Chain A
Amino acid sequence: MKIAVTSKGKDLDSEVDPRFGRAAYILIVDTDSFEFEALDNSENVNAFKGAGIQAATMISDKGAEVLLTGFCGPNAFKALNAANIKVANDAAGTVKDAVNAFNGGKVSFADAANVEGHW
């Protein structure tokens, strides 16, 4: 299964970026093989508005089924929900830690946004 993890850097040892829409990078990780692709999110970091919507579209296009992040606003959550992507907003440590926690069944999925828009 492919999952998306927001990241401060380009590899699995990078720290999880708690922001979703304006995360520095988003890593699309295969939970079995740990093969990954790092998506440069710099365009969204400086987006005027709608960063979360755009990031959600991007990970949906990459086939992610789950998102591990820290904070997710209402528009992003609405978009992720439409794309059937489950959201866990308690990711911490490195990207590898977060994926291991997911594989170990140690993440809980959110049923709503956990921050306001423009957070």
Chain B
Amino acid sequence: MIISVASGKGGTGKTTVATNMAVSLGSDVQILDCDVEEPNAHLFLNPIINEKETVFVPVPKIDDEKCTYCKKCAEICRFRAIAVLAETVLTFPGLCHSCGGCMEVCPEKAISETDRELGVIEKGRVNGLDFILGRLRVGEAMSPPLIRKVRSFVQPDKINIIDAPPGTSCPVIAAMKDTDFVLMVTEPTPFGLHDLKLGVEAVKLLGIPCGLVINRSNIGNNDVRGYAENENLPILMKIPFDRRIAEAYSRGKLIVTEMPEWKEKFIELYNSIDKLAKREKDK
């Protein structure tokens, strides 16, 4: 089972839901922090990190001796990562998407691959929970390959909970694609609803079953609930705007350890997800 916890809007409580659900379920659970621009699940889980790995992507390197400035590499590159100006070939590694097209079309075999550092992966454990995060190098803009690398550690026989980045662009798609269920965490405000709609549109395109958690559920207005009803999106959990929850969060504590009565609710949340995901598979 792979569940991605996403949101559209940032700061709605993805990490809160992902970490509390993971800890409530106990064993045979892995949490994957795919919010690689600012991973924060470790702040609440305090795992012992026992493995670190630097992640690279291949980018082109031009052999000036062999290059005849034919421009075929520059013409095939959709991302303008290679430019041929007079008798100079320039590469822009930050724009390269590592497709290998330039190497393929070069008639002189003047292009080879070199590595560009994207970031690191950290693996660890805490109380029987497997933990893994990706951390994008400061200044790096391209996160999807790093997110895919984090996801390569999914363990199919376990419950895998992915903490996705906010938004609806490539990094979010990389975190949601081919998961069994997308749990959208939202808040009942105009901003929350606006970004939730964008997120739900993306999930629909991917054809993944989806349900909602409404955080700070006793503030704002009823529009999110109305939207959920119209779109047939099940509301699987409501978390109230509660000072005790805010205090726990601000101290890096989990709701389920500070208020143990919540553990059962997070287990129920998982059970509803499991049921909905299975129903989808049986279709």
A interface, CB within 8 angstroms of B: 47-51, 53-54, 56-57, 60, 75, 78-79, 82-84
Contact = CB atoms under 8 A, between A and B. Distances in A.
Contacts of B86: 60, 82-84
Interface stretch (B21-29, B87-95, B178-186, B234-242): B87-95
Interface stretch (B5-13, B75-83, B112-120, B224-232): B75-83
A57 B84 contact: yes
Given A53-B80, A53-B92, 16 more contacts: A48-B79, A51-B80, A53-B90, A53-B95, A56-B83, A57-B74, A60-B86, A78-B90, A79-B85, A79-B90, A82-B83, A82-B88, A82-B90, A83-B85, A83-B86, A83-B88
B83 A49 contact: no
A52 to B, nearest CB: 9
Please classify how large the interface on chain B is, using the bins under 10, 10 to 19, 20 to 34, 35 or more: 10 to 19
A60 B85 contact: yes
A79 B81 CA distance: 11
Nearest to B81: A50
A78 B81 CA distance: 12
5 contacts: A47-B80, A56-B85, A57-B85, A82-B86, A82-B90
B80 A82 contact: no
A82 B83 CA distance: 10
Contacts of A50: 79-81, 92, 95
Interface string B89-111: 01010010000000000000000
A57 B75 CA distance: 11
B80 A54 contact: yes
A13 to B, nearest CB: 30
B282 to A, nearest CB: 40
Contacts of A48: 79
Contacts of B85: 56-57, 60, 79, 82-83
Contacts of A75: 92, 95
